[in-house]
Chains A and B, each alone.
Chain A
Amino acid sequence: MLSCKGSSRLLSDALDRELDLSEQTSLDQHLEICPACRDCKDQFARLIGMVSRLVDGELTPRKAPTENR
């Protein structure tokens, strides 16, 4: 069973690489039952927009994780 610690790491990794199937499954299962980690996921996603806004411009669109492999 994935802990919140493990889940937070996978949430970060998922923004930079494609998770493998077992990682994705255990993360999904954890998020299902853990509101705090769902908030964490939302916060990580919000950070991206906040940093972009710091430079106040439409910079290079962020590439999807699947393109990074």
Chain B
Amino acid sequence: MNADFALEIHVHREDLLRIARLQLRDDDVAEDVVQETLLAAMQGQANFEGRAKLKTWLIGILKFRIVDALRQRRRDPIPASALQQETNIEDLEALFDQEGMWRAKPSTWSQAPAEIEQQDFMQVMELCLTRLPPLTARVFMLREMFGMDSEEVCGLIAITRNHLGVLLYRARMSLRRCLEIHWFQAARGQSDAVV
């Protein structure tokens, strides 16, 4: 086993752990999944061809491990109360007036954060993802971070297409609002935010 390669891999441990935690919302399972990922990476070093970035390759492995962990959890169905709560969008309706018009209109977002702000932006993004309810965060990340299609996500989490649509709507509406308040408006020095 190559000690240098082990070191290179471990540099990314914290990043992998953060993604796994956001996705699984369970520190122990996240630790296990990352441990398995690092082990698999060590054993599969020959498969790493150096063309992809190391981190990208590791995240590819992590994705399979997370999906596996979620598949195992399918045996414990999602509590009906959680699904009911997160698919009830009454709270989102408060963003609109009685005519269904925006109370606080979305703004035009400025260009992508400059290189120097990247780190700060990612912290805000992470904060916003953390604020999403667990099931909502999970389906959003499977869809947008791991690029799974709707059928796959529904099959994995055992929810209907309709529920998936509502959860993704919740995720997008909450994230856009959170980023608007904590990044884009903050950057402009505005404080007219209505949470």
Contacts and interface: CB of A to CB of B under 8 A. Distances in A.
B151 interface: yes
Contacts of B164: 16
B53 interface: yes
B147 to A, nearest CB: 4
A51 B100 contact: no
Contacts of A6: 100
Contacts of A61: 147
B145 A54 contact: yes
Interface residues of B, number: 49
Where chain B touches its partner, the secondary structure class is helix
A47 interface: yes
B73 interface: no
A60 B172 contact: no
Place the interface of chain A in its size category: 35 or more
A40, A51, A58: most-surrounded residue (chain B CB, <10 A): A51
B32 to A, nearest CB: 19
A9 to B, nearest CB: 6
B85 to A, nearest CB: 19
A59 B55 CA distance: 11
A62 B144 CA distance: 7
Contacts of A40: 106, 176
A29 B164 CA distance: 26
Interface of A: 3-6, 8-9, 12-13, 15-17, 36-37, 39-40, 42-44, 46-63, 67-68
30 contacts: A3-B96, A3-B99, A4-B100, A4-B101, A6-B100, A12-B169, A13-B165, A16-B165, A17-B161, A39-B106, A39-B108, A40-B176, A43-B179, A44-B176, A47-B144, A47-B172, A47-B175, A47-B176, A48-B144, A50-B125, A54-B122, A56-B15, A56-B53, A57-B55, A57-B56, A59-B59, A59-B60, A60-B146, A63-B149, A67-B149
